[in-house]
Each structure stands twice: as C-alpha cells, then as structure tokens.
Amino acid sequence: MRTLRMTAVAAVAAAGLLLTACSGGGGSLSGETSAPDADSSGSGELIPVTVGLLPIAAAAAVQMGIDAGAFEEQGLDVTVQIGQGGAALLPAVANGDIQFAVGNPLSVLVAASQGLEMNIIAGYSSVDVPADKLPTGVLVKSDSGITTWKDLEGKKVAVNAFNTQGDLSIMGSVEQDGGDPTAVEFTEIAFPDQLAQLEQGNIDAAWVPEPFVGAGLATEGVELLGEPMGNVIPGLSSMVTFTSAAYAAENPEIVEKFRAGIAASTDMAMADTDAYRDVIVSYTKMPADVVANINLEKLSADLDPSIIEDLTTLALKYEFLGSEPDLKKVLVLE
C-alpha cells in the first residue's frame, strides 16, 4: 500500500525512531566512530571493539555510556556502527566485522536455529513498563468494533515486517484470548505510513512504536487496543546484547567487560531520563519536543532466561523458527 497522507509527528520522527523489536528486515551498516582510536592517547591500553546499533531511541543509551566513559572504565574503546535493519547486524557479528550488537532476540534465535552460532550475553530493553507508559501498541479506530484481541480474527493488521516479534506476539495474544491466530491477515507497512492507512480504512489495526503511538492517540477516532508483546510474554525483551559464539570463546574477558559497560549504560539512562532524552535527540536527530513526549522502554542488562525460553516456545509454535535452537549455547549471561 502507498500512503496518501502522513501525520506531521510521524514525518519528522520517521528518520529517527524504529522499534527494534519489529526490525527484522534487511539493511546495511554505516560506520560512525564514537570514541577515539585505541592508540590515540599513546597508552595502547584500551581494547578497540565495535558495536552494531540501530538508529532508534533505545539504542542511544549505548552512546550515553560511551560519552560518559562507562566502557573506557572497563578498558574498552568502543566504536558504533549503525545498521539500517536487523538483518545487517547478525552477519556482521558472525563474520567478525563487528564484535557486538544490540538487536531483537527473535532474530538471534532464528539465526541460531539456522546454524549461525550466536551468544546472547546480556539483556538490554523490554516493554516491562506501566500500562500508561507503553512504548508500543496496536491502534484501532474507535468505531471499528475491535475491543479485544480475539476481534482481530479476519482483520487486516499492519506490522512493519513479517515474522518478527510484532506479528508473533499479536498471534499469541489472539489465541490467548480464544481466537484463531491464523485468521489474522497481516500486511507489511512502514511505521510512518500506518496511521494514515488506518484512518483511511485500508487496514483494521496498526502495530506501532513511539512516537507513532502518541500520534495515533492524539488523532480523533483512534484508540489503543493493547500492547501485544508484554501481553503474551510479560517482560518480553525488545532488544538483547549479543556476540558470536566464536568471539565469546576466544575473548571471554572482553565479553565480560562489554557486558559491564552495557549494564552501566542502561542503569545510567534509567537513573537520569532527562539526560537520556537529550542523548536520544543527538543520536536519532529527532526533534526535542517529540523526544520529550515519547514513552521509554525499560533498559537493563539483566535478562531472565525464562523470557527467552518462552519466546522460543511461542516462535516454534507458530513456525517462526524452523528448528529449536540450543538455548544452553545461545544464552551466555555470565
């Protein structure tokens, strides 16, 4: 579908904010150095590593940590490389082009099930937030008659990419509510385009992140059905920190240092959300007034293994995974 109209908020935010939990499409990597060369001080003590990030709000916490010296304290000189889609990060990590990445766990599980050996070494972000602070959700028209997840049976629901945590969690929510998840008709539409398509009646529901949730709820006749990811798996991770199994085996001390840097960065962002929002503005180039009003995901390096286990079970049930990954090999959290 082609969008005929776009809201002003969506237009200005499109360049900056895409929710990683649903970012499963292709893309490319572009280099952006965020720290000086390892030998620039002449000491040669800092270990250079590169982390792949997506150009989204939550990823800005890594930049916040770099700027504050959280990784330097661990003896690491971190360079950021931006990936325009989740599919660009996994092969770059697997090939050793970059050492670490932050991305959605389902993509890592898919890669692992296909023989690409990956290690999830820490958590990063989740939708474990208060009900009035949801960073993502499904929007419907107020007069649509859609008031429960089961009502999505036979309806056309937009997601930004197929076979990601968006359509997976919506299917799980529909079945959990007593509906037939296979009866939901998913269509792939970019986030900035979905609200206009919903208003025009071309779709029945739209799964969007902030700032599009806020833009939708500010639109007359549009309301929130619910948040599917946390609904089907409470506390579901939208992003995790990962590396290749080969790199982790060869460099356990560096992995531990990077994990500690991620922990310090996410804790820092949650402890001072005003400063974190300032970094989001500079990192994503989103307008400050838009960033001031977005709902933030919960950031933490801690990760409950049972959440990844539940995600694996759900993905296998709906055949998002061709085979079951060995989570004992995938999850390397300490």
pLDDT at 131: 85
Q: Helix, strand, or coil here: 38? A: coil
Identify whether residues 122 and 158 lie together within a single domain.
no
For residue 1, is it within any domain? no
Length of the chain, in residues? 334
- Pull the structure tokens for residue 239: 């992003």
Asked whether 256 and 53 are in contact (CB, 8 A), the reply is no
Identify whether residues 321 and 293 lie together within a single domain.
yes
For residue 167, is it within any domain? yes
pLDDT at 29: 66
For residue 204, is it within any domain? yes
pLDDT at 34: 44
- Domain stop point among 212, 232, 252: 232
Weakly modelled stretches of the chain, pLDDT under 70: 1-44, 84-87
pLDDT at 132: 85
- Pull the structure tokens for residue 29: 């990597």
Query: Exposed (0-12), middle (13-18) or buried (19+): which is 220, by Cβ within 10 Å?
Result: exposed
> How many folded domains does the chain comprise?
2
For residue 5, is it within any domain? no
Identify whether residues 118 and 137 lie together within a single domain.
no
Asked whether 204 and 154 are in contact (CB, 8 A), the reply is no
pLDDT at 88: 75
Identify whether residues 14 and 120 lie together within a single domain.
yes
pTM of the complete model: 0.86
Identify whether residues 67 and 181 lie together within a single domain.
no
Q: Whole domain around residue 289: which residue ranges?
A: 10-129+235-330
pLDDT at 86: 64
For residue 43, is it within any domain? yes
- Helical (H) or strand (E) element with 138: strand 136-141
CATH number for 241: 3.40.190.10
